[in-house]
Chain A
Amino acid sequence: MKTIYLTIVLAPLIGAIIAGLFDVSRRVAHTVTIAGVGISFFLSLYVFKYIVIDGGAIFNETLYTWLVAGNIRFEVGFLVDQLTATMLLVVTFVSWMVHFYTIGYMHDDKGYQRFFSYISLFTFSMLMLVMSNNYMQLFFGWEAVGLVSYLLIGFWFTRPTAIYANLKAFLVNRVGDFGFLLGIAAVLMYFNSLNYAEVFAQAEQHKNTLIQIIPGQDWSLMTVICILLFIGAMGKSAQFPLHVWLPDSMEGPTPISALIHAATMVTAGIFMVARMSPLFELSPTALAFVITIGAITALFMGLLGLVQNDIKRVVAYSTLSQLGYMVVALGASAYGVAIFHLMTHAFFKALLFLAAGSVIIAMHHEQDIRKMGGLSKYMPITYWTSLIGSLALIGFPGFAGFFSKDLIIEAAHHAHEAGHLGNAGTFAYYAVLSGVFITALYSFRMFFLVFHGKERMDHHTQHHLHETPAVVTVPLIMLAIPSIFAGMIAIEPMIYKDYFGHAISFEHSPFAHKHFVSLFEFMWHGVKQLPFFLAMAGLITAILLYWELSFIPPFFRQIPAILAKKLSIIHQIMLNKYGFDRFNDWFFAGGSRNVGSFLSSAGDATLIDGVFVNGSAKLVAWFAGTVRHVQTGLLYHYAFAMILGLAFFLGTFVLYGSKLI
């Protein structure tokens, strides 16, 4: 099995190296990378069958010791359990689909080979992240996916906006990574190990350990560690207030928006918290923090989706909101549910992004939904797959998102009822409930504006509109299938059975002691609940406001504009994304630039450069220039120097013995 695991990780890396470092043709570039990821996908299928279905042995071994410093061991090792197997399947499948899709999307791009190399490298990094059995490698994968994300957001590096976006993503992620690194350091300091299994084994002992970071303030060790680690997750999974980079990351090509900024990388934070669940379970404070952040993100980022006009940004805000849902599930101790939603979301959100990409190709890289409309008759496959994706997203009964989202709401409800998280649970419950309505509204707002109604594009574009080629549509169809069925298949084993084994903490899950009756029972129960009605309400509202059907009074269609005018302050705030970007630009970016330029002129240029660096350099140079004259080139001077040295040694050591120094 070791060979298989190694192959899963290394196949994409080899593909990336061949495509990236050697000057290969386009055909070779996409062939090797697709083959590499394909191998990983099929092996992941096998691993999934072996571990999850056949209940095979869990693999937890160190493969290579990189270096040992004192009692700290830096190792490369794999932990493959049910959680990892699930993630492997999701990552490799979506990545593989995106590889195919890229052939069509990047067809005319000059950086074709570079792009394939990057996405394969990304797949490698993500696999390293999910397969690691220690914090060191986790951090490696964490940074590596961050790096590739940076490279891909700035893929079109001649566009100033792309450079701005990738710099922003990089800097914001640094903030998160800083917390993450501190968290890892705290783990190392108190547990004396970086290995998951060793850390989890000791976790219980430290349940009541108190530490003082600020003197006089006792803090629970577990809370500090968990919040620090979660700050890392907030950066990577774009949680409030570190979410600001994700919408801007849409500057990157659409395939990577699907792969990295929707399906996989941004879920690394969710995965990490689920992986660390034995630690998080020990700190209710940290869980309350987690659920609050998740709820804020889920609700408020969804709201922003309502006012966006860029097709990709709408999907991006929807991603933010869905990530918030997952985090809420984590906070409610329903880790299995979070992973379940992660999986279903990966499928339908990748589908939505790729469909958006398909539309963008057809529209000749026009992304404004106000300039679209009526595309359904030109692009039937894209239309139907988008519909499936949207229905899955809003949680229409039967579709994948229905099951996972329903469970999240139930988990939040449980947190609200149980009250162990205080007001945070209550807040989270109402936030995710209202989120359902909003999700349905913005999803179908976009859907109707793009595919129905008047054709608002210019004539040239309209003339050339046609369905995209098979390399684009086949991945759409392939992703549409799990978007429908993944929920039905996975719900019973994943949530109600002992699916994850000991991979994640399960005892505190709200579903631990419940039983699953039948799929139909579950759906029937769901349809009678509030979330369903809210979703339907959202859908209907969208139909009324945005679907230009003949029997709907045109008055409804003016409501959005009227609302925007009446509530112009709120509308403005929302258009400005609550002012986060402006605040960050002014306070953090501007402020640190000012501090930086002050330190640079006063501290660096004058004091350090002037006095210390140049001063000492000049001193050394002067000294060296003087001393070099001792080296006269004359033989007898040299011999004399040797004799003097001898005399000195004789004098000191023979006469004074060894008491000199």
Chain B
Amino acid sequence: MSFNLLPIAPEIFLLTMACIILLVDAYLSDESRDLSYQLVQGTLLGTTSLLWLTFPTQKTFILSSLVVIDPMGALLKLFIVATVFVVFVYSRNYLKARNFFKGEYFVLGLLATLGMMTMVSAHNLLIIYLGLELLSLSLYAMVAMHRDSSQATEAAMKYFILGAIASGMLLYGMSILYGVTGSLDLSVIAQKTAQLDGNKTFFAFGLVFLMVGLAFKFGAVPFHMWVPDVYQGAPTSVTMFISTAPKLAAFAMLMRLLIEGLPAMQAEWQQMLVILSVLSMAVGNIIAIVQSNIKRMLAYSTISHVGFLLLGVLTATQTGYAAAMFYTIVYALMGLGGFGMIVLLSRAGFEAENVVDFKGLNERSPWYAFIMLILMLSMAGVPPMLGFWAKLSVLMEAVHTGYLWLALVGVILSVIGAYYYLRIIWMMYFEKPLDNEPIVTTPDMQVALSANGLIILGLGMFPQALMMACVGSIG
């Protein structure tokens, strides 16, 4: 038996470095803790370049087909690693100001990244589950990391318990699939389901449980209850982490489980996704309107975005998947920027987490007000921002596959949703600031945040390349 480990070289590198950093960090004094941070960022850059070097051109199965290596997975992994990198850039000062700038925090982040990468290229129920748990456990710990905050502890507890229930259900669904097909391999499961064209009841039974696990990870209604509480309670740097990269991994999990594993159950899961999608778009957009806490507002905004991206998946066409993937990536970019702005405005002893904290931002810093303007417009789906193309492409796919009513519902709800984004813009430009403290920031954060905003604007003008990358990797 021989192993071809080259395709998973990025994962191996990441894990090795995480262990090394854990050891190095133990011997560092608090003053020289920056070294850990630099090592972590170096690791992420190294992983990115390894991913780039090993970028596959076709689908191959390795490690006794437990793992699948394909362009979609590689592209998603690239974006995951890049997202985590930016999250850490944004987090550094935030963590320092709150006294939990620790090596373990970053190592947990790295291990969570490893979990996501595992999920992305899993081709076996066991691997999916292990990746998911690796991710979830790291996230629970990261949420609880700010020990002095009772809010964070509460959020961690809720996240942990609900997450445990959800992963229990996922596991139950997996065990049923295993019980019926006798295999954990997604290809075998797909084969077996296709042969069994008569009574699908038992598969549907397993599928429902799988769907609950998936919906929980995405935060789709009605399995979304954890989202607002955890987003609000967790330290902003962790919220930023939870809300961006794991969504990319969840998208991959959805693709692996439903499209690769259960294509024969398409009719059923399409229906389930329709319900999840409509509910998410509606609940997300409507409840966000009455939120006064901006992290909570963004949590509901995330829920609504999830509804839109499911819209792309439920069309069950190649282009629909590409549109959903495009949406997910765009969402991650916008989420990064949005939470990045909150981090920017926060400082030691002050969390800029209320919507009113954005009042008069234009007077305090026209440039960051402009960046926030781009982000909000993009989230609302206003051309020429990137978010517009993302919404447009999923809606177009929905229309093309005959879900006209669903697209109409989506459009109406996104119009309702535009209200709370525009409200922030209104506050930034037309109201007096409540707080006149200068914005303290560091050059790396400035560059990253500005680039983040400008990329959304720039890619909005020229969305072709990213769209083509998504279409190419799915096809």
In the complex, is A directly touching B at CB under 8 Å?
yes
Complex interface bits, A625-645 against B, C-beta within 8 A gives 1, otherwise 0: 101100101010111011011
B164-220 contacts to A (CB < 8 Å)? 165-166, 169, 200-201, 204-205, 207-209, 211-212, 215-216
- Taking A639-B161, A661-B274 as contacts, is the C-beta distance between A631 and B208 under 8 angstroms? no
Which B residues touch A637, using CB under 8 A? 225
Closest to A632 in B: B225
**Cβ B286 vs Cβ A620 within 8 A:** yes
Cβ-based interface call for A1 (8 A): no
How far, in angstroms, from A650 to B207 measured CA to CA in the complex?
9
Q: Is the CB of B208 within 8 A of A642?
A: no
Is the Cβ of B226 less than 8 Å from the Cβ of A638?
yes
- Given A624-B290, A653-B208, A646–B169 Cβ distance below 8 Å? yes
**Which of A623, A624, A653 is close to B207, meaning CB atoms less than 8 Å apart?**
A653
A620 pairs with B416, CB closer than 8 A: yes
Q: Which residues of chain A are near B223, meaning CB under 8 Å?
A: 641-642, 645
Instruction: Please give the distance in Å from A616's CB to the nearest CB on chain B.
Output: 8
Interface 9-mer from B101-109, B264-272, B328-336: B264-272
Q: Are B267 and A642 in contact (CB under 8 A)?
A: no
Q: Cβ of A620: which chain B residues have Cβ within 8 Å of it?
A: 286, 289, 416, 419
- Known contacts A624-B287, A642-B225, A653 near B166 by CB under 8 Å: no
A641 touches B225 (CB 8 A): yes
- Is A201's CB within 8 Å of the partner chain B? no
B70 within 8 A of A: no
- Decide yes or no whether B366 CB sits under 8 A from chain A: no
Is B464 touching A67 in the complex (CB atoms < 8 A)?
yes
Cβ–Cβ contact A635 & B161, under 8 A: yes
Complex contacts, A625 vs chain B, CB 8 Å: 290
B161 pairs with A653, CB closer than 8 A: no
**Are the CB atoms of A623 and B286 closer together than 8 Å?**
yes
Residue in A closest to B207 when the chains form the complex, CB atoms: A653
**Is A654 interfacial (CB 8 A cutoff)?**
yes
Does A617 count as interface, using CB distance less than 8 angstroms?
A: yes
Pair A649/B416 contact, Cβ less than 8 Å: no
A214 at the B interface (CB under 8 A): no
A595 at the interface (CB under 8 A from B): no
In the complex, are the beta carbons of B271 and A627 less than 8 A apart?
no
A-contact bits for B56-98, CB 8 A (1 contact / 0 none): 0000000000000000000000000000000000000000000
**B395 CB to nearest A CB, Å:** 15
Whether A642 lies near B162 (C-beta < 8 A) is yes
Q: How far is the CA of A642 from the CA of B222 in the complex (A)?
A: 7
Report whether B286 and A658 are in contact in the complex, using a CB–CB cutoff of 8 Å: no
Known interface pairs A639-B165, A661-B274; A631-B228 also in contact (CB < 8 Å): yes
Q: How many residues of B contact A (CB 8 A)?
A: 40
Q: How far is the CA of A660 from the CA of B278 in the complex (A)?
A: 15
Asked whether any CB of chain B lies closer than 8 Å to the CB of A63, the reply is no
Answer yes or no: B432 CB below 8 A from chain A CBs.
no
Determine if B216 and A653 form an interchain contact, defined as CB atoms under 8 angstroms apart: no
B15-32 with Cβ < 8 A to chain A: none
Q: Is the CB of B222 within 8 A of A658?
A: no
Q: Is A621 an interface residue (CB 8 A)?
A: yes
Contact B286 A654 (CB under 8 A): no
Give Cα A645 to B222, complex, Å.
6
Q: B274: which A residues are within 8 A, CB to CB?
A: 661
B294 to chain A, nearest CB (A): 16
A216 interface contact, C-beta 8 A: no
Interface size on A, residues (CB 8 A): 30
For the complex, what is the distance from the CA of A17 to the CA of B158, rounded to whole Å? 54
A160 at interface (Cβ–Cβ under 8 A)? no
Bound form: Cα–Cα A641–B279 in Å: 14
Interface residue A657 (Cβ < 8 Å from any Cβ of B): yes
**Chain B residues near A650 (CB-CB < 8 A):** 205, 208
A654 and B204 contacting across the interface, CB-CB below 8 Å: yes
Q: Mark B243-279, 1 if CB is under 8 A from A, else 0.
A: 0000000000000000000000001101110110000
Contacts of A628 in B (CB 8 A): 287, 290
**Looking at B212, B215, B222, B226, which has the most chain A CB atoms within 10 Å of its CB?**
B222
In the complex, the chain B residue whose C-beta lies closest to that of A617 is: B419
Q: Is the CB of B287 within 8 A of A646?
A: no
Nearest-neighbour CB distance to chain A for B352, whole angstroms, equals 22
Known: A653-B268, A658-B267. A646 touches B229 (CB 8 A): no
B283 within 8 A of A: yes
B157 contacts the other chain (CB 8 A): yes
Evaluate contact between A621 and B290: CB separation under 8 angstroms. Answer: yes
A660 engages B271 (CB within 8 Å): yes
Q: Which of B157, B204, B416, B419 contacts A653 (CB 8 A)?
A: B204
Q: Which residues of B contact A648 (CB under 8 A)?
A: 222
Those of A352-391 within 8 Å (CB) of chain B: none
Q: How far is the CA of A644 from the CA of B165 in the complex (A)?
A: 13
Distance in Å from the Cβ of B467 to the closest Cβ of chain A? Answer: 11
Q: B290 and A654: CB pair below 8 A?
A: no
Taking the closest CB of chain B, its distance from the CB of A612, in whole angstroms, is 12
Given A627-B283, A628-B287, A631-B228, A646 contacting B208 (CB threshold 8 A): yes
**Residues A108-126 near B (CB distance < 8 A):** none
Residue of A nearest to B203 (CB): A654
Question: Does B162 lie within 8 Å of A638, measured CB to CB?
Answer: yes
B157 to chain A, nearest CB (A): 7
Kindly provide the distance from the CB of A144 to the nearest chain B CB, expressed in whole angstroms.
Answer: 17
Residue among A617, A649, A660 with max Cβ neighbours from chain B (10 Å): A649
Docked CA distance A653–B166 (Å): 19
Given A654-B208, A658-B267, A638-B201 contact (CB < 8 Å):
no
B166 neighbours in A (Cβ, 8 Å): 642
Across the interface, which residues of A come within 8 angstroms of B286, CB to CB? 620, 623-624, 627
Name the distance in Å between B463's Cβ and chain A's nearest Cβ.
8
Chain B residues within 8 Å of A621, by CB: 289-290
**Closest residue on chain A to residue B226 by CB atoms:** A638
Contacts of B161 in A (CB 8 A): 635, 639
Q: Which of A625, A627, A645 has the most CB of B within 10 A?
A: A645
A487 to B229, CA, bound (A): 80
- Choose one: B205, B270, B283, B464; the contact of A654 (CB below 8 Å): B205
- Give Cα distance in the complex from A623 to B200, angstroms: 39
Q: Max chain B CB contacts within 10 Å: which of A67, A620, A635, A653?
A: A653
**Cβ contacts under 8 Å, B288 to chain A:** 624
The docked-state distance in angstroms from the alpha carbon of A73 to that of B114 is 43
Bound-state CA distance A222–B267 (Å) is: 52
Contact A624 B289 (CB under 8 A): yes
Contact B212 A645 (CB under 8 A): yes
- B347 CB to closest chain A CB, in angstroms? 27
A185 to chain B, nearest CB (A): 20
Among B200, B204, B225, B267, the residue within 8 A (CB) of A638 is: B225
Q: Which residue of A lies closest to B265 (CB)?
A: A658
A649-B207 Cα distance, complex, nearest whole Å: 10
Chain B hits for A635, CB < 8 A? 157-158, 161-162
Task: Name the distance in Å between B227's Cβ and chain A's nearest Cβ.
Answer: 10
By the criterion CB–CB under 8 Å, are B416 and A638 in contact? no
Complex alpha-carbon distance, A243 and B99, angstroms: 70
Tell me the smallest distance from the CB of B423 to a CB of chain A, in Å. Answer: 11
A624-B290, A646-B209 given; 7 more Cβ-contact pairs under 8 Å: A627-B286, A631-B228, A641-B225, A649-B212, A652-B271, A653-B271, A657-B204
9 pairs from A and B in contact (CB 8 Å cutoff)? A620-B419, A627-B283, A627-B286, A631-B225, A635-B162, A637-B225, A638-B226, A638-B229, A641-B225
By Cβ-Cβ distance, the 6 closest A-B pairs, closest first, are A638-B225, A645-B222, A658-B267, A624-B290, A649-B208, A624-B286
